[in-house]
Structure 1
Amino acid sequence: MSACAATGQQTPLPDAGNVALGQRAYADGPVIQPVAVIEDSRCPMNARCIWAGRVKLKMLWLRPTGEKQPFEVTLGEATPLADGSITLESVRPEKRTDVTIRPEDYRFSFRFAGGL
């Protein structure tokens, strides 16, 4: 019966596979929140580029103590966090030359590697 007792928590956090700006998510350990796109210089899918570009995000790690620790991530690069590292694995939608991506349209996927 105790396993069914109410814990007073709100709706469970979504996993980190489809996260919007400002949304909190559970990343297999830490709770994270993307707060701003610092850079989105990806090559548009309907253009030719000599550099693939990159995406950088301003993030928050919402620690169990209630502290909000800021950090940054770059698409495809592991960033140290907690007892492991977090990687921004994908950014949607694809960038295009004929469409401006609004902040509310972005979706991100993260992977956390670490823990015991």
Structure 2
Amino acid sequence: MAVIVPIIPFLAGCASTRPVEGPVRLGQMTAVNGPRVRADRVIEDSRCPADVLCIQADRLIVQVTVFGGGWSRQFDLQPGVPVHVADGNLTLIEATPLPRTTRPRTRMRSYRFTFNFQGGL
């Protein structure tokens, strides 16, 4: 008599360790053309609210950990500013949502980040 063991629950647990594609939340890992990137924390978010016209420069700084073949390193990224990593450049290309005057502080679980890596060779 054969014993059938359901393996679906076991496979579901494996999915959480794989990098996701597209925008990621804080704590999630994404693969970007080679290295893997995890958004660790928002250091500063003084971006202009989406429902206001600002005349002052704003700033967003996100701390990330980049993982390569046997190494890891932390970086502070700002949108549109490439940082040299391994044989290329890593850029934070989008961060949502923008702050709103009706909700002055963005909840940490609401943030989504998109990264791009342009490899060297």
Q: Shorter-chain TM-score: which interval?
A: 0.7 to 0.9
What TM-score, normalized by structure 1, do the two folds share?
Answer: 0.83
RMSD: 1.4
- What residue ranges of structure 2 are gaps of 5+ in the alignment? 1-13
Check if 1:33 corresponds to 2:38: yes
3-state SS in 2 of match to 1:38: strand
Shift, 1:62, TM fit? 1.6
1:13 aligns with 2:19: yes
Q: Which residue of 1 aligns with 2:101?
A: 97
Q: Choose 1 or 2 for highest CA Rg.
A: 2
- SS of the residue corresponding to residue 100 of structure 2 reads coil
Which structure carries more helix by proportion? Answer: 2
Task: Give the structure 1 partner of residue 78 of structure 2.
Answer: 74
Q: 2:100, 2:116 → 1: CA distance?
A: 25
How many residues align? The count is: 105
Q: Cα distance, 1:57 vs. partner?
A: 0.7
1:47 shift after superposition = 1.4
**What residue number does 1:60 align with?**
65
Of stretches 49-58 and 104-113 in structure 1, the one that deviates more from structure 2 is: 49-58
Given residue 51 of structure 1, which amino acid in structure 2 is its aligned partner?
A: Q
TM-score of the pair, normalised by structure 2: 0.80
Listed as ranges, the gaps of 5+ residues in structure 1 are 1-9
Q: Helix, strand or coil: the match of 1:80?
A: strand
Q: Return the alpha-carbon distance in structure 2 between the equivalents of residues 31 and 92 of structure 1.
A: 20
